[in-house]
Amino acid sequence: MSVNLQTPIDYLKGVGPNRGDLLRKELGIYTYQDLINLFPNRYIDRTQYYKINQLQRNNADVQVIGKIIGFKEVTQKRGKRLVANFQDETGTMELVWFRGQKWIRENLKLNKPYVAFGKTNWFNGKFNMAHPDLELLEEHKKNLRSGMQAIYPSTEKLSNKGINNRVISKIMQQLFIETKGIFVETLSDNLLSELKLISKREALFNVHFPKNQVLLSKAQYRLKFEELFYIQLQLIIKNLIHKSKIKGFPFEKVGNYFNSFFKNHLPFELTNAQKRVLKEIRADLGSNAQMNRLLQGDVGSGKTIVAFMSMLIALDNGFQSCLMAPTEILSVQHYNGLYDLCNLLNIRIKLLTGSTKTSERKKIHESLENGDLQILIGTHALLEDKVKFKNLGLAIIDEQHRFGVAQRSKLWKKGPPQSSHKKDAKAIRKKYMTARPSTYKLLIELQVENKKNSTQVESILWECLRNKKLDFKFRRQYIIDELIVDFVCLEKNLIIEVDGDYHNTIEQKEADDLRTQILNEIGFKVIRFTNEQVIGDIDNVLNYIVKTLKSLPSGEIGGASTPPHILVMTATPIPRTLAMSVYGDLDISIIDELPPGRKPVKTVHRYDKNRLNVFRFIRDEIDKGRQIYIVYPLIKESSAMDYKDLMDGYESISRDFPMPKYQISIVHGKMKPADKDFEMQRFIKGETQIMVATTVIEVGVNVPNASIMIIESAERFGLSQLHQLRGRVGRGVEQSYCILMTSHKLTNDSKTRLETMVKTNDGFEIAEVDLRLRGPGDIMGTQQSGVLSLKIADIIKDNNILQSARFYAKKTLLNDPALSKPEHSVLLETYKQLGKYKNIWNYIS
């Protein structure tokens, strides 16, 4: 059998079906290629051999040459352990096994020289080594040896089945022998030469069997650069394609709405960062491409006013806008904040959430479709099929990481029809009307007849298209230009027609053919079925439709519509390294300064024993007319964790701040929306001085009079949550405070988080610390972290390599956007494989 890297792992000598099955299930290794890309976790120096009398009591990994001179079984509390006496010329030590004893006794030979490798322990006046790696000395000498021994990822199940590190190392050697170490080069000569990188073959060999530390470092750098380079290449090309292929509405003018607001109604002077970001957005909106921009700014940096001014540009060009937020609280805050500004400019704005009454919804739907409603704010409710805009030109998504990709893309499909598409259709119809007037006339007559004679067969097919969940939405009796079609999937520009029994004459068939010709020319694929086909074999008909759908490219974002410009916002600053990896295909704008006059929030860390002093401070602030937030991590007491819970906290606060002098609100995620809103409104109006809450107030509450944020069990919160909660205060002119309350029991990570919060108010600095503590996957959440499933690179430790990879990816594409030059053929070939495999290492070997 000829061997290549796609050969199933079972065929590798030393693996076989049983081990192959385990490697697939435990490590995801299906092929030779997967095995070559199983990179070591760490390395151990195997250049030195110790004598037993040289061993130290330091629990270190060592290798010793000696012979097994006997076995014994020792009974212990649970089961037995197997002990072997291992001897060299200087002394004796013990080798110990707690499992797999039968296999060990049957396979290990007495009085033969072995190399034992493992961690030493000192027990009962003797050294021992538990579950050592054992190899006959003659085999050890034959094997492909390296000074640094690779330690591979493993699982308990693999260890229990005897597939230990030595076995994996051995099958890795076998792989190099069988493939003769021939690996296709995946980087261009100019990159290898400019960066002084070693070849692919050398890199793979030295990452698995490094002769020394220098060669290992060169191999790791080469492979890390390659992994990050192709991720960056992918993201940058995606961005370039987006700009060249996906057209947007050119908002050519900045008119009366924008200028009037800027000159007469702007409540404060914009910061330089806000002005810079607005210029970037205006440039995008004025181009012919769809804007796809991420706006990130710290808590309170003024993203909302930038978003509103972007909406005014859309209005100046005759387009509607929407703003979608992840929670009702946040959408209500946006609506309340923008409502007064819209009133000043006579702009019609509405709020749509899950709580909006049916009667109000109908009015909103109607005024949205006829264009009377200019700005719509809301939650996921904006994504409902019933929500149709007349001409949506700008969609803004706040805290976008809380929405799934599919949810966000639904907004794309709410854009208005492409005007060019309509003009083309008109011209195409006119051409055929002139060339074949009688056939065209019959076509229109048949169309009217078709509409009257909706058949039983059409109803059968419609039930299947509607209920079979083909993953695509179909519309029935849909008008395309002036032609009524039986069924259409706009997402794929596919039309399905059922030919009834009454289309029998040559003239009628010619009219049907002409209709198909016109629809094809407009940009639709038409497939036709007879009554007999639908009734005789509906499953076959549906299979054919599915097959056709899969073979077609997606229509231009929802068939005959142009996507709105997209602005996504986040108040969670994303470290530059992470932004480059996750959002490399978006244009990024950053508001990195706070509005003038804002006093930084003073943050302190206090232990539970300081609670009386903290309460005294709260009373003083309330006496000055201020309001207080007290936030708890849990709603109900947890037996597993010793953290303050909300209800206990509320009762305790009520005792220390009794009515009627003090009024307290309580808000948590399990309350009904109406109750939650009632309590929020009491606090916003100043009717209550203290709000006891869970993290439901992390975003979306704006009370300038609130000056203290107390976070109970602060060690329980992540850095970004702490920073978001702190952002609820410091919104007025008075000095504000954030008090982090904890017990004395703190982990090192908790201490680092608390120290960071006390030291800085800079969200970007906090995000960098968070990235170091938690890693990229945790910060981004599963929806956004797929691109960071790295095999060998680490975007935190390898930040310098990431920046270099992005620089060279940009430089390459600037010089050759299509990678069509001969010197880039290897890059193009590798890039083409991106569509075939999800895992980058499946193709760059």
pLDDT attached to residue 560: 42
CB 767 within 8 A of CB 776: no
pLDDT at 639 over 50: no
Which amino acid type is present at position 769?
V
Q: Where residue 620 falls among pLDDT bands split at 50, 70, 90?
A: very high
pLDDT digits (tens, 9 = 90+) for 454-478: 677 888 888 888 765 677 788 888 7
Place of tokens 């590190």: 165
Q: Where residue 842 falls among pLDDT bands split at 50, 70, 90?
A: very low
pLDDT at 285 over 70: yes
Q: Whole-angstrom Cα distance, residue 583 to residue 574?
A: 10
pLDDT attached to residue 591: 87
Which residue did the predictor score with more confidence, 181 or 85? 85
How many Cβ atoms sit within 10 Å of the Cβ of residue 113? 14
pLDDT attached to residue 640: 46
Q: Whole-angstrom Cα distance, residue 71 to residue 94?
A: 10
- For residue 707, the Cα-to-chain-centroid distance in whole angstroms is 35
Q: Helix, strand, or coil here: 845?
A: coil
756 Cβ contact list (under 8 Å, min separation 6): 719, 765, 766, 769
Q: Whole-angstrom Cα distance, residue 791 to residue 786?
A: 12
pLDDT digits (tens, 9 = 90+) for 753-780: 999 999 998 887 888 788 778 766 544 4
First CA to last CA across the chain, in angstroms?
21
Which amino acid type is present at position 111?
N
pLDDT attached to residue 415: 66
Average pLDDT (496-525) is 78
Q: Which of 229-233, 429-433, 673-677 has the highest mean pLDDT?
A: 229-233
pLDDT attached to residue 406: 58
Q: Helix, strand, or coil here: 171?
A: helix
pLDDT attached to residue 557: 35
Q: Whole-angstrom Cα distance, residue 772 to residue 189?
A: 35
Place of tokens 């090309």: 237
Q: Which of 110-114, 167-171, 235-239, 835-839 is predicted least confidently? A: 835-839
pLDDT at 269 over 70: yes
Which residue did the predictor score with more confidence, 740 or 514? 740
pLDDT attached to residue 724: 83
Q: Delineate the domains of the chain, giving CATH numbers in brackets.
A: 47-144 (2.40.50.140), 189-244+800-842 (no CATH), 256-416+562-591 (3.40.50.300), 419-551 (3.40.960.10), 602-760 (3.40.50.300)
Q: Where residue 837 falls among pLDDT bands split at 50, 70, 90?
A: low
Q: Whole-angstrom Cα distance, residue 384 to residue 466?
A: 17
Q: Which of 249-258, 321-330, 425-434 is predicted least confidently? A: 425-434
pLDDT attached to residue 778: 47
Tokens matching residue 373? 């409603």
CA distances from 20 to 151, 165, 735 (A): 20, 16, 65
pLDDT attached to residue 370: 86
CB 72 within 8 A of CB 86: no
CA distances from 206 to 173, 198, 199, 270, 544 (A): 12, 10, 11, 55, 51
For the chain, the average pLDDT equals 83
Q: Tell me if the pTM is above 0.85.
A: no
Q: Whole-angstrom Cα distance, residue 219 to residue 183?
A: 14
Q: Where residue 91 falls among pLDDT bands split at 50, 70, 90?
A: very high
pLDDT attached to residue 584: 65
pLDDT attached to residue 56: 81
Peptide bond between residue 113 and the one before it cis (omega within 30 degrees of 0): no
pLDDT at 722 over 70: yes
pLDDT attached to residue 642: 43
Percent of the chain whose pLDDT exceeds 90: 28
pLDDT attached to residue 200: 92
Average pLDDT (655-659) is 90
pLDDT attached to residue 328: 84
Best CA proximity match to 105, nearest among 68, 130, 137: 68
pLDDT at 552 over 80: no
pLDDT attached to residue 339: 93
pLDDT attached to residue 568: 86
Q: Where residue 107 falls among pLDDT bands split at 50, 70, 90?
A: confident
pLDDT digits (tens, 9 = 90+) for 567-606: 988 776 666 666 666 666 678 888 888 777 778 899 999 9
**H or E stretch at 607:** strand 602-607
Q: What are phi and psi of 386, to 5 degrees?
A: -70, -20
Average pLDDT (721-749) is 88
Average pLDDT (814-832) is 89
